[in-house]
Amino acid sequence: MTIKAILFDHDGTLVDSEGIHFRIWAKILATFGVFLSEQQYKDHYAGIPTMTNATDMVARFSLPMDPGVLVNAKGVATRDFLARESFPLMPGIRESLVLLQGWGLLLAVVTGASRDGVDSTIRSQGLDTTFSTIVSGDDVDKSKPAPDCYQLAMGRLNLVPHECLAVEDTGHGVAAAAAAGIACLAVPTQMSDHHDFKRAAGVFRNIGAATERIAGYLKLENSTFGAG
Protein backbone atom coordinates (compact mmCIF):
# COMPACT_ATOMS: atom_id res chain seq x y z
CA MET A 1 0.00 0.00 0.00
CA THR A 2 1.52 3.31 -1.14
CA ILE A 3 -0.75 5.88 0.48
CA LYS A 4 -0.86 9.34 -1.05
CA ALA A 5 -4.29 10.55 0.06
CA ILE A 6 -6.75 10.15 2.94
CA LEU A 7 -10.42 10.49 1.96
CA PHE A 8 -12.70 11.51 4.83
CA ASP A 9 -16.43 11.12 5.14
CA HIS A 10 -18.10 14.23 6.57
CA ASP A 11 -21.06 13.52 8.86
CA GLY A 12 -20.02 11.41 11.83
CA THR A 13 -16.38 11.31 10.73
CA LEU A 14 -15.18 14.91 10.39
CA VAL A 15 -18.09 16.45 12.29
CA ASP A 16 -20.33 15.35 15.14
CA SER A 17 -23.58 15.90 13.27
CA GLU A 18 -25.66 12.73 13.45
CA GLY A 19 -27.45 13.80 16.63
CA ILE A 20 -28.37 17.08 14.97
CA HIS A 21 -29.63 15.29 11.85
CA PHE A 22 -31.74 13.03 14.08
CA ARG A 23 -33.35 15.98 15.83
CA ILE A 24 -34.07 17.70 12.50
CA TRP A 25 -35.69 14.58 11.06
CA ALA A 26 -37.68 14.00 14.26
CA LYS A 27 -39.05 17.55 14.14
CA ILE A 28 -40.02 17.24 10.46
CA LEU A 29 -41.79 13.92 10.95
CA ALA A 30 -43.60 15.24 14.05
CA THR A 31 -45.36 17.78 11.83
CA PHE A 32 -46.93 14.80 10.06
CA GLY A 33 -47.88 13.06 13.29
CA VAL A 34 -44.97 10.59 13.26
CA PHE A 35 -42.73 9.97 16.27
CA LEU A 36 -39.17 9.04 15.33
CA SER A 37 -37.17 7.48 18.16
CA GLU A 38 -33.40 7.74 18.43
CA GLN A 39 -33.21 3.95 18.16
CA GLN A 40 -35.17 4.01 14.90
CA TYR A 41 -32.81 6.65 13.57
CA LYS A 42 -29.78 4.57 14.56
CA ASP A 43 -31.25 1.39 13.07
CA HIS A 44 -32.44 2.81 9.76
CA TYR A 45 -31.18 6.31 8.97
CA ALA A 46 -27.78 7.19 10.46
CA GLY A 47 -25.21 7.76 7.74
CA ILE A 48 -27.73 7.31 4.92
CA PRO A 49 -28.26 9.89 2.13
CA THR A 50 -31.27 12.18 2.54
CA MET A 51 -33.27 10.88 -0.44
CA THR A 52 -32.80 7.28 0.65
CA ASN A 53 -33.99 8.18 4.13
CA ALA A 54 -36.97 10.12 2.82
CA THR A 55 -38.02 7.25 0.57
CA ASP A 56 -37.85 4.80 3.48
CA MET A 57 -39.75 7.15 5.80
CA VAL A 58 -42.61 7.58 3.33
CA ALA A 59 -42.95 3.80 3.05
CA ARG A 60 -42.29 2.93 6.71
CA PHE A 61 -44.69 5.50 8.16
CA SER A 62 -47.27 5.38 5.32
CA LEU A 63 -46.95 9.06 4.58
CA PRO A 64 -49.22 10.35 1.76
CA MET A 65 -46.55 12.32 -0.10
CA ASP A 66 -43.66 12.12 -2.47
CA PRO A 67 -40.27 11.63 -0.76
CA GLY A 68 -39.17 14.88 -2.38
CA VAL A 69 -41.39 16.77 0.08
CA LEU A 70 -39.35 15.40 2.98
CA VAL A 71 -36.08 16.02 1.14
CA ASN A 72 -36.99 19.66 0.62
CA ALA A 73 -38.06 20.06 4.25
CA LYS A 74 -34.81 18.49 5.45
CA GLY A 75 -32.77 20.76 3.18
CA VAL A 76 -34.52 23.89 4.46
CA ALA A 77 -34.20 22.86 8.11
CA THR A 78 -30.52 21.97 7.73
CA ARG A 79 -29.73 25.25 5.99
CA ASP A 80 -31.56 27.12 8.75
CA PHE A 81 -29.44 25.34 11.35
CA LEU A 82 -26.20 26.06 9.48
CA ALA A 83 -27.15 29.73 9.16
CA ARG A 84 -27.13 29.96 12.97
CA GLU A 85 -24.30 27.59 13.90
CA SER A 86 -22.03 24.90 12.50
CA PHE A 87 -21.49 21.22 13.14
CA PRO A 88 -18.73 20.71 15.75
CA LEU A 89 -15.63 18.79 14.73
CA MET A 90 -15.29 15.26 16.03
CA PRO A 91 -12.82 14.95 18.92
CA GLY A 92 -9.24 14.70 17.68
CA ILE A 93 -10.01 15.47 14.05
CA ARG A 94 -8.19 18.80 13.87
CA GLU A 95 -5.02 17.28 15.33
CA SER A 96 -5.26 14.35 12.95
CA LEU A 97 -5.63 16.61 9.90
CA VAL A 98 -2.56 18.60 10.92
CA LEU A 99 -0.50 15.43 11.33
CA LEU A 100 -1.63 13.92 8.05
CA GLN A 101 -0.85 17.08 6.12
CA GLY A 102 2.51 17.24 7.84
CA TRP A 103 3.24 13.72 6.61
CA GLY A 104 2.78 14.95 3.04
CA LEU A 105 -0.61 13.32 2.40
CA LEU A 106 -3.38 14.81 0.28
CA LEU A 107 -6.69 15.15 2.10
CA ALA A 108 -10.19 15.06 0.62
CA VAL A 109 -13.81 15.04 1.76
CA VAL A 110 -16.02 12.36 0.19
CA THR A 111 -19.59 12.53 1.44
CA GLY A 112 -23.03 11.42 0.36
CA ALA A 113 -24.52 14.55 1.92
CA SER A 114 -25.10 17.88 0.19
CA ARG A 115 -22.32 20.40 -0.31
CA ASP A 116 -23.94 22.96 2.04
CA GLY A 117 -22.90 21.15 5.20
CA VAL A 118 -19.32 20.62 4.05
CA ASP A 119 -18.94 24.25 3.00
CA SER A 120 -20.22 25.34 6.41
CA THR A 121 -17.66 23.11 8.14
CA ILE A 122 -14.79 24.36 5.98
CA ARG A 123 -15.75 27.98 6.55
CA SER A 124 -16.52 27.88 10.27
CA GLN A 125 -13.63 25.63 11.26
CA GLY A 126 -10.96 27.45 9.24
CA LEU A 127 -10.15 24.46 7.01
CA ASP A 128 -9.97 26.39 3.73
CA THR A 129 -6.49 25.09 2.84
CA THR A 130 -6.89 21.59 4.24
CA PHE A 131 -8.62 19.59 1.50
CA SER A 132 -7.44 19.11 -2.07
CA THR A 133 -10.94 18.24 -3.29
CA ILE A 134 -14.48 17.85 -1.98
CA VAL A 135 -16.98 15.40 -3.46
CA SER A 136 -20.56 15.59 -2.19
CA GLY A 137 -23.78 13.82 -2.99
CA ASP A 138 -24.57 16.74 -5.29
CA ASP A 139 -21.75 15.66 -7.61
CA VAL A 140 -22.89 12.10 -8.41
CA ASP A 141 -26.01 10.31 -9.60
CA LYS A 142 -25.63 7.44 -7.13
CA SER A 143 -24.62 8.16 -3.56
CA LYS A 144 -23.11 5.78 -1.00
CA PRO A 145 -23.05 2.77 -0.78
CA ALA A 146 -22.40 3.09 -4.54
CA PRO A 147 -18.71 3.78 -5.30
CA ASP A 148 -19.34 6.81 -7.53
CA CYS A 149 -18.26 9.50 -5.06
CA TYR A 150 -14.97 7.74 -4.33
CA GLN A 151 -14.32 7.13 -8.00
CA LEU A 152 -14.86 10.82 -8.72
CA ALA A 153 -12.50 11.82 -5.91
CA MET A 154 -9.77 9.54 -7.25
CA GLY A 155 -10.21 11.00 -10.72
CA ARG A 156 -9.87 14.54 -9.42
CA LEU A 157 -6.74 13.62 -7.44
CA ASN A 158 -5.31 11.59 -10.34
CA LEU A 159 -4.83 8.60 -8.03
CA VAL A 160 -5.70 4.90 -8.09
CA PRO A 161 -7.30 2.86 -5.28
CA HIS A 162 -4.12 1.53 -3.67
CA GLU A 163 -2.87 5.11 -3.31
CA CYS A 164 -5.92 6.11 -1.23
CA LEU A 165 -7.25 5.31 2.20
CA ALA A 166 -10.79 6.15 3.33
CA VAL A 167 -12.06 6.96 6.80
CA GLU A 168 -15.75 6.31 7.47
CA ASP A 169 -18.11 5.94 10.43
CA THR A 170 -20.88 3.83 8.86
CA GLY A 171 -21.32 0.51 7.12
CA HIS A 172 -22.69 2.24 4.02
CA GLY A 173 -19.60 4.40 3.83
CA VAL A 174 -17.26 1.44 4.20
CA ALA A 175 -19.21 -0.39 1.48
CA ALA A 176 -18.82 2.59 -0.88
CA ALA A 177 -15.07 2.75 -0.37
CA ALA A 178 -14.69 -1.01 -0.73
CA ALA A 179 -16.75 -0.99 -3.93
CA ALA A 180 -14.29 1.56 -5.31
CA GLY A 181 -11.39 -0.70 -4.35
CA ILE A 182 -10.20 1.62 -1.57
CA ALA A 183 -9.15 0.29 1.83
CA CYS A 184 -11.21 1.89 4.59
CA LEU A 185 -10.66 2.51 8.28
CA ALA A 186 -13.91 2.59 10.28
CA VAL A 187 -14.35 4.86 13.29
CA PRO A 188 -17.93 4.12 14.46
CA THR A 189 -19.99 6.51 16.57
CA GLN A 190 -22.76 5.71 19.04
CA MET A 191 -25.16 6.09 16.13
CA SER A 192 -23.35 3.55 13.93
CA ASP A 193 -21.52 1.12 16.22
CA HIS A 194 -24.01 -1.63 15.35
CA HIS A 195 -23.28 -1.42 11.59
CA ASP A 196 -21.56 -4.16 9.60
CA PHE A 197 -17.88 -3.27 9.29
CA LYS A 198 -16.63 -6.59 7.91
CA ARG A 199 -15.30 -4.89 4.77
CA ALA A 200 -13.24 -2.37 6.74
CA ALA A 201 -9.46 -2.69 6.92
CA GLY A 202 -9.74 -1.93 10.63
CA VAL A 203 -12.22 -0.66 13.21
CA PHE A 204 -10.99 1.96 15.69
CA ARG A 205 -12.33 3.56 18.86
CA ASN A 206 -11.43 7.10 17.75
CA ILE A 207 -9.63 9.05 15.04
CA GLY A 208 -6.43 9.06 17.09
CA ALA A 209 -6.20 5.29 16.94
CA ALA A 210 -6.96 5.33 13.21
CA THR A 211 -4.24 7.95 12.67
CA GLU A 212 -1.74 5.72 14.47
CA ARG A 213 -2.64 2.94 12.02
CA ILE A 214 -2.00 5.31 9.12
CA ALA A 215 1.39 6.16 10.63
CA GLY A 216 2.09 2.43 10.71
CA TYR A 217 1.22 2.10 7.04
CA LEU A 218 3.61 4.96 6.31
CA LYS A 219 6.25 3.36 8.56
CA LEU A 220 6.67 6.57 10.51
CA GLU A 221 8.49 6.70 13.84
CA ASN A 222 7.76 8.95 16.80
CA SER A 223 4.26 9.64 15.49
CA THR A 224 2.29 9.07 18.69
CA PHE A 225 -1.10 10.76 18.49
CA GLY A 226 -2.89 12.33 21.44
CA ALA A 227 -5.88 10.76 23.15
CA GLY A 228 -8.24 12.03 20.41
pLDDT at residue 116, rounded to an integer:
87
Give yes or no for residue 96 having a pLDDT over 70.
yes
Domain edge (last residue) among 49, 84, 119: 84
For residues 29 and 64, state if they share a domain: yes
- Examine the domain organization and report whether 105 and 211 are in the same domain: yes
Contact 218, 86 (CB under 8 A): no
Residue 6 dihedral angles phi and psi, to the nearest 5°: -115, 125
Total domain count, the chain: 2
CATH of the domain at 43: 1.10.150
Residues 211 and 143 in one domain: yes
The whole domain housing 202 covers: 5-15+87-218
The answer to whether position 223 is within a domain reads no
- The per-residue pLDDT for range 135-152, each reduced to its tens digit, is 998 999 998 999 999 999
**Looking at residue 226, what is its pLDDT?**
47
Q: Does the structure show a pLDDT above 90 at 179?
A: yes
Instruction: For residues 124 and 169, state if they share a domain.
Output: yes
- Coil vs helix vs strand at 82: helix
pLDDT, tens only, 50-69: 999 999 999 999 999 999 99
Are 100 and 63 contained in the same domain?
Answer: no
